[in-house]
Amino acid sequence: MTADYKTPGSDTTAPDGPVADESGTLRPADAPRLDPRPVYRPKIDAASSRAFGRPGGVTGSFAPSDARRESEPSVKVGAPDPVLAEAFGRPDGEVDTIQRDPHEKPATTAVAAPPADPWRDPDAGVELGSPALHAEEHSRPPAPALSAREVLFGGKVAPKALVALGGIALAIGLVGGLLAAVITADRSSLTSQSVTLVQGGGEEDLGQSPVAQVADAVLPAVVSIQVAVGDQGSTGSGVVIDGAGYIVTNNHVISAAATAPDGGKIQVIFSDGTKAEAQIVGRDIKTDLAVLKVAADNLTVAELGKSGDVQVGEDVVAVGSPLGLSKTVTRGIVSALHRPMRLSGEGSDTNAVIDAVQTDAAINHGNSGGALVDDTGRVIGINTAMLSESGGSVGLGFAIPIDDVTTVAQTLIRDGRMHHPDIGVNARTVVNDDTSGAQVANVRSDSPAARAGIVENDVIVKVGDRTVTSADELVVAVNLQKIGEPVRLQLIREGRLVDVDVTPASD
């Protein structure tokens, strides 16, 4: 089937099939032709039309040019203000304006020759010449010279008075110079014969301090002890305890001489410098005490105190020969009581545990055997040991209580040897969450402990009235007992508290 149709503006009959429309787009021949879409125009209210619409009488997009000129207000330019015209107008007689034609070449003007004046020429060289201005010279009449009197006093002082004033001033200067020379005569020299130093003191001053009084009372009773074994020597201290020549000291001070195969020499030096040979009366390695005897008369005997009177915090004085320095006095306090301290060391057979008095009075090597004295001058202990990591005094000194010293020294003087109570056990310190004390390591057969039924691993916590918290304290507690007198021991066995009675025997 074919259809005949004409394209707009053409009388050509289109062949069958798609044909091009006015815009050149191919479309099927039988495609219906659609009407153009209606244009949507929104309704505009009168107020918007008046505000944004065309003015009356205008049909196009823009008003005619003549209409715009007629509608524009005309501007009339009047004469400028006289003040502004004077400030910004052209000067009289000038026709040029400020603006110049950029294409116009500036007119060349002749440059005036530079002035001949070198002061106005920046390139002029340096030269000497006459000044720019010449001052006029005026002649002055000659005048007489002024005298000193006229300058100083205006001619009002007579010459004689001026001479008198000069003489007075000279005399005052001479007198002042002489006085200054006399006053400062000694200042020109470093030495002087007029200086006398004044010292205070005397019987009218305050009396001796307590430490000085104690030192005066005790120093004569404290001696230095020198021990020589072959070519070896050592120094210690001692205290005179009896007028017959008995002196107490530490065993470790004289043990080298006591144990030497060929014997040794012990010499005692008193505070006045007197020397005397000493013999060993007796010594006790378990208390680190020894007694010597010298043949000397008129000895100053130390006054002995009691351990029960010693209190923590009281003032004490340590007297001895530290490092070989005899008659040395140091001061401190009692830091603690009943401090178990084990004593043993190389070069000595001492094997002791003492119930020590602790003090912060300085104690050094050589103080051993010296006196620890209270503020009344009584001996309350024999200085024996110190604790120090550096080897010097750090305020931890220990002394044997005077009650133990008295008992041991008295026994050695009477019998020459000392016996101690013993229960026959060896112990080690034990500390745990449940208790602390001395755990029995072994029990000697047929000993007081074995007869009382004490066995290994029992932990002894009390001996008599003395609480035991370590193995060393067990030794101290047993030494406080008497031989042959029963004492109650409290111990822990398999978690149970057990009391047993033990009768110490002699060692």
pLDDT tens digits, 317-371? 999 999 989 999 999 999 999 999 999 877 788 999 999 999 999 999 999 999 9
Confidence of residue 4 (pLDDT cuts 50, 70, 90): very low
Is pLDDT above 70 for 100?
Answer: no
Rounded Cα distance, 192 and 79, in Å: 110
Active site residue 288: yes
Is pLDDT above 60 for 6?
Answer: no
pLDDT tens digits, 41-72? 778 888 888 888 777 777 776 656 655 555 55
3-class secondary-structure state, position 247: strand
For the chain, the average pLDDT equals 83
End-to-end CA distance of the chain: 155
Rounded Cα distance, 461 and 336, in Å: 21
Phi, psi of 201 (to 5 degrees): 120, 175
Active site residue 271: no
Write the CA distances from 128 to 118, 120, 125, 427, 438, integer angstroms. Answer: 11, 15, 10, 121, 120
Average pLDDT over residues 282-289: 94
The active-site residue out of 224, 237, 252, 307 is 252
Contacts of 293 (CB under 8 A, 6+ apart): 244, 245, 246, 247, 278, 279, 281
Is pLDDT above 70 for 484?
Answer: yes
Radius of gyration of the chain (CA): 66
Contacts of 88 (CB under 8 A, 6+ apart): none
Q: What are the structural domains, with CATH classification, of the chain?
A: 210-417 (2.40.10.120), 419-504 (2.30.42.10)
Rounded Cα distance, 175 and 250, in Å: 80
Is pLDDT above 70 for 172?
Answer: yes
Which tokens sit at 237? 């201290």
**pLDDT of 3:** 43
The lowest-confidence range among 281-290, 294-303, 386-395 is: 386-395
**pLDDT of 467:** 93
The active-site residue out of 284, 288, 458, 472 is 288
The active-site residue out of 234, 237, 368, 393 is 368
pLDDT tens digits, 229-274? 988 888 999 999 999 999 999 999 999 999 888 878 999 999 999 9
Contacts of 478 (CB under 8 A, 6+ apart): 421, 422, 423, 463, 504
Confidence of residue 302 (pLDDT cuts 50, 70, 90): very high
**pLDDT of 5:** 41
**pLDDT of 233:** 87
Is pLDDT above 60 for 137?
Answer: yes
Long-range contacts of 56-59 (CB under 8 A, 24+ apart): none
**pLDDT of 163:** 79
pLDDT tens digits, 190-219? 777 788 898 877 665 556 788 999 999 999
- State the amino acid at position 46 in one-letter form: A
Beta bridge partners of 156: none
Q: What is the 3-state secondary structure (H, E, C) of 94-111?
A: CCCCCCCCCCCCCCCCCC
Tokens 């193995």 belong to residue? 471
